[in-house]
């Protein structure tokens, strides 16, 4: 079952010794998994706080503040690149450029893994009041399709994974989405109790 980015990479090639670029590395969680599996990992993120955290999370990785649309690496530097839930955070006019940059830094037999959320599900519905990502997520899908149709990307496989996350309270969910993007805290504070009600309305409640 290919239920994680690491599993997807393993389905394509052996991870040990692989030179991997984590584009939009966030807190470094995936980089740590890749390093533990034997990969040589670099990560980039435009947020300085994310890079600081990633360096602590995965001290054996190399992390740099950079934009996905202007990667500070020579062509052919990596065997694999991963973009996990990061393309839709790139400004829409730069999404295609980000995909082309990921392709540029790959070796001739390199591969790119792009994981992107769709505009469905109760997690998405709970998030919408705080930040409606509908346009950004749809734009990311359109950019992928455009590069597959007219760019240098060739589709190896397409997978749809139904992901389940469990939270003990609405506050835990709100903490989770702020950890991904600290700018959301302002909206949550502005919404006050409405944010909590939105989460509870969208939640799928388990048995007590």
25 and 69 co-located in one domain? yes
Q: Each residue of 120-147: pLDDT tens digit?
A: 888 888 888 888 889 999 999 999 999 9
> If you average pLDDT over residues 61-71, what whole number do you get?
97
Position 45 in a domain: yes
Look up residue 15 and give its two tokens: 């991870």
Q: Is the pLDDT of residue 166 over 60?
A: yes
157 and 188 co-located in one domain? no
15: domain CATH number is 3.40.50.150
What's the burial of 196, exposed, middle or buried (CB within 10 Å: 0-12/13-18/19+)?
middle
Q: Is the pLDDT of residue 1 over 70?
A: no
The phi-psi region of residue 196 (left if phi > 0; otherwise alpha if psi is between -120 and 50; otherwise beta) is: alpha
Look up residue 120 and give its two tokens: 């469905």
- What confidence tier does 156 reach under pLDDT thresholds 50, 70, 90? confident
> If you average pLDDT over residues 63-68, what whole number do you get?
97
CA distances from 164 to 12, 81, 121, 128, 183 (A): 24, 25, 10, 18, 24
24 and 56 co-located in one domain? yes
47 and 84 co-located in one domain? yes
Q: How many domains does the chain have?
A: 2
DSSP-derived secondary structure letter, 185 = H
Comparing 40 with 165, which gets the higher pLDDT? 40
**Residue 54 and residue 25 in contact, taking contact as beta carbons nearer than 8 Å:** yes
**Distance in angstroms (rounded) separating the CA atoms of residues 102 and 22:** 10
For residue 67, list its beta bridge partners. Answer: 70
Task: Give SS3 for 2.
Answer: coil
> If you average pLDDT over residues 171-198, what whole number do you get?
87
Q: Which segment, 78-87, 112-121, 127-136, is predicted with the most confidence on average?
A: 78-87
113 and 180 co-located in one domain? no
> If you average pLDDT over residues 154-171, what whole number do you get?
82
Position 208 in a domain: no
Could you list the residue range(s) of the whole structural domain that residue 177 is in?
A: 165-203
103 and 20 co-located in one domain? yes
73 and 152 co-located in one domain? yes
**Residue 38 and residue 80 in contact, taking contact as beta carbons nearer than 8 Å:** no
> If you average pLDDT over residues 3-29, what whole number do you get?
92
Please report the DSSP string for 99-164 in residue order.
Answer: HHHHHHTEEEEEEEEEE---S-SHHHHHHHTT---HHHHHHHHHHHHHHHHHSS------------
């Amino acid at each position: 079952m290919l239920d994680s980015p690491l599993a997807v990479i393993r389905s394509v090639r052996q991870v040990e010794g692989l030179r991997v670029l984590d584009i939009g590395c966030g807190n470094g969680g995936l980089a740590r998994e890749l390093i533990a599996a034997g990969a040589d990992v670099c990560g980039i993120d435009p947020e300085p706080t994310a890079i600081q955290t990633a360096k602590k999370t995965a001290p054996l990785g190399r992390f740099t503040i950079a934009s996905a649309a202007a990667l500070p690496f020579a062509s052919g530097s990596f065997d694999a690149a991963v973009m996990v839930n990061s393309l839709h955070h790139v400004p829409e006019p730069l999404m295609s450029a980000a995909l082309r940059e990921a392709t540029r830094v790959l070796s001739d037999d390199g591969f790119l893994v792009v994981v992107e959320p769709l505009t469905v599900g109760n997690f998405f519905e709970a998030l919408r009041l705080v930040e409606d990502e509908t346009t950004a997520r749809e734009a990311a899908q359109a950019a992928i399709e455009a590069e597959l149709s007219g760019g240098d990307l060739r589709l190896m496989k397409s997978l749809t994974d139904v992901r389940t996350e469990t939270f003990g309270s609405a506050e835990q969910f709100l903490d989770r989405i702020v950890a991904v993007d600290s700018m959301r805290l302002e909206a949550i504070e502005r919404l006050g109790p409405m944010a909590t009600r939105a989460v509870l309305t969208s939640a799928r409640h388990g048995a007590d």
